[in-house]
Homo-oligomer: A and B are copies of this chain.
């Protein structure tokens, strides 16, 4: 990886007028990585900007600059974008000079690729690249990189965390990253609506197959009663797989009349992506999803039947 990191560092050091591209439904890692590079390049007197096909979430406000500057970008660099479909339609037509990513599979047709699937977050890679560039790590840059690392690791909880993840976090704190402020915002603080939604999810969990499977329907009525918006729902699908003994946790969210979206989370051996494939969906091994239509009871039976047939026979 050292070669790729050095080449990425050299590319960023040598070129100017760079557009940094984040993936759709932007998260802390794609934004943290892109804005860290943005501030680093700007401190070197370069013109650069960050672009995303979706609106930037208010939650990450503390990372955003007052203004991006007005210029015609000449080079495009993707940050944390695994799939070309995760860019907006117009962005998909661009030429890509550099792709920085940490996903297992990456199909961005970039001239230079700096992809390390062992990195817990793309921000780990960006940190190493900026270090190679001898960037002056301001507390702003440190905040951006720390954000990517903590959000992509569930605050150092997931299996993707390595010793180097903690070493980088330590150095970012030394550079002034306000870890507590960021973690508080990302992990501790919850809106009253979110807490109420969590309460309703716990209340409505149903257990099947020797309690190895938990299913919960999140109806529009429940969303309304909790005062929840769509963004409140983010991450709620993780609850169904928490109860001890549960291997498959399924959260079925009502989208419209007789239209549902199922989020499947698994703990250790069931391939969620494969299971969702039976319904035309997909995703990762431990987190995947699919769309399914029908009334609630029919949907539940379809899912339970498939679980029985494929997993809990």
The residue on B at minimum CB distance from A286 is: B180
Is there a chain B Cβ closer than 8 Å to A309's Cβ?
A: no
Known contacts A191-B243, A192-B243, A242-B195: A156-B174 contact under CB 8 Å: no
Q: How many copies does the complex hold?
A: 2
Q: In whole angstroms, how far apart are the Cα atoms of A169 and B187 in the complex?
A: 20
Q: In whole angstroms, how far apart are the Cα atoms of A184 and B159 in the complex?
A: 9
Q: Is the CB of A190 within 8 A of B243?
A: yes
Is there a chain B Cβ closer than 8 Å to A267's Cβ?
A: yes
Is there a chain B Cβ closer than 8 Å to A296's Cβ?
A: no
Interface positions, chain A 157-172, Cβ under 8 Å from B, are 157-159, 161-167, 169-171
A contacts with B, residue count (CB < 8 A): 45
Partner of A244, one of B157, B163, B191, B205: B191
> Which of A6-14, A196-204, A276-284 is the interface stretch?
A196-204
| Residues of chain B lying within 8 A (CB to CB) of residue A164 | 170
Is there a chain B Cβ closer than 8 Å to A188's Cβ?
A: yes
Partner of A195, one of B165, B166, B205: B205
| Residues of chain B lying within 8 A (CB to CB) of residue A199 | 198-199, 202-203
- Starting from the known contacts A188-B241, A190-B242, 10 additional A-B residue pairs (CB-CB under 8 Å) come to A155-B157, A156-B156, A157-B180, A158-B180, A161-B180, A163-B174, A165-B170, A167-B170, A191-B244, A195-B243
Can you report 24 A-B residue pairs in the complex whose CB atoms are below 8 A from each other?
A: A150-B156, A155-B156, A155-B157, A156-B156, A156-B179, A157-B180, A157-B184, A157-B188, A162-B173, A163-B171, A163-B173, A164-B170, A166-B167, A189-B242, A189-B244, A190-B242, A190-B243, A191-B243, A192-B207, A196-B202, A198-B198, A199-B199, A199-B202, A199-B203
List A residues at the B interface (Cβ < 8 Å): 150, 154-159, 161-167, 169-171, 173-174, 179-180, 183-184, 187-192, 195-196, 198-199, 202-203, 205, 207, 211, 238-239, 241-244, 267
